[in-house]
Amino acid sequence: MAKLMTPNLKHLYYFDVFAQELSVKDTAKRLNITSAALSNQLKELSSHVGAKLFIYDDRRFTLTPEGDELRNYTSRMFAIYLDLQKNVPQNQEIRKSQLRFGICNMIGLKMSLEILKGVKRNKRSSFEHVSYLYASNLELLDGFKSGKYDTILGAFSPNLVIENQWNATQFPLAVHLVFPKKVGLDFKDLAQLHSPAAINKAIQTANDHQLPLVKTQHPSLLRDETDAYLLKTEISPLRTIECNSLAAILEILETNQGYAFLPKLYVNSKSSRTNLIILGSKEGIWQHRLSLLQKQKAC
């Protein structure tokens, strides 16, 4: 029998939000995760508690007595946390040596920490405290402008960086065509797999199988780069569908329901790759550039 994971704050927070919404779709949207990811978290929590926390009947969710009791605890717990955030003043000496680091949720933790080490090495005074939070690019920009973050790492429009005169350092990511293995691409050797012709062949195969190109539904630098590449190469996907996150895109790819252009680093950090083929040379089809933005005081 598999060992049950000890529930953490994420499990409890997801349940608390779900208990408010009583809708998987609305909760997932509010948390910016997929419905499948939310369901897995709730299932793990229910298994650990050893009781059903909610039931689905007559097309709606209802908390069980056990779920209602747990909700009483989580609602009080997070209410106390929010009250502390609002009312307890920060120690100014700690704040001076603290780096609030926002990271785009498509970037692996390993790479984020390596970049953070570089930031600390390049500064005259080191940070004693580092707090970091994963969020979407749009949330990072809002937090950077409002002062929530001192430094953010994500994919931001070069024009936006120039217009705001932000201090930016760029890091390139290789973008590849990520394709489900079960569709049946036929390449004789590895060299063919990484050739430019492989991209055309893969998309033609996808069109033959009615397989859609999957993109993010919200505006992003990666989406703009994908559209520009397709326009430049005159490659025309037969179908296109949109998802609300990169995690949702990868989920579709792993279930053989589509293909996408994604940074290889993201695929490696989020997937076992057993069901996927990565097409393109080592340098990628194009370079997707991450930007590290810093406040002037953090320079």
Confidence of residue 111 (pLDDT cuts 50, 70, 90): low
In whole angstroms, what is the distance from residue 207 CA to residue 86 CA?
53
Angle between helices 65-87 and 9-21 (to 10 degrees): 110
Fold of the 9-87 domain = Arc Repressor Mutant, subunit A (1.10.10)
Going from N- to C-terminal start, the domains of the chain cover 9-87, 92-172+290-298, 174-288
Confidence of residue 91 (pLDDT cuts 50, 70, 90): very low
Pick the CATH number of 92-172+290-298 from 3.40.30.10, 3.40.1440.10, 1.10.10.60, 3.40.190.10: 3.40.190.10
How many angstroms separate the CA atoms of 217 and 244, rounded? 6
Stretch 207-230: mean pLDDT: 86
Averaged pLDDT of the chain:
78
C-alpha dist (Å) from residue 206 to 248, 251, 263, 279 = 19, 17, 20, 14
Q: Return the SS3 of 273.
A: coil
CB atoms within 10 A of CB 179: 25
Question: Which of 142, 166, 134 has the alpha carbon at shortest distance from 33?
Answer: 134
* Run of H or E residues at 46: helix 35-49
- According to the model, what pLDDT value does residue 120 have? 57
Choose between 264 and 26: higher pLDDT.
Answer: 26
Residue % of the chain over a pLDDT of 70: 74
Q: Find where tokens 């779900």 sit.
A: 18
Farthest-apart Cα atoms in the chain, separation = 65
174-288 matches 92-172+290-298 in CATH topology: yes
User: For 58-80, how does the pLDDT look when each residue is reduced to its tens digit (9 = 90+)?
Assistant: 788 999 999 888 888 888 777 77
Exposure of 153 by Cβ count < 10 A (0-12 exposed, 13-18 middle, 19+ buried)?
buried
Task: Quote the pTM value.
Answer: 0.56
pLDDT band at 113 (very low <50, low <70, confident <90, very high): low
Considering the segment(s) 174-288 as one domain, its CATH architecture is 3-Layer(aba) Sandwich (3.40)
Q: How far apart are CA 273 and CA 75, in angstroms?
A: 38
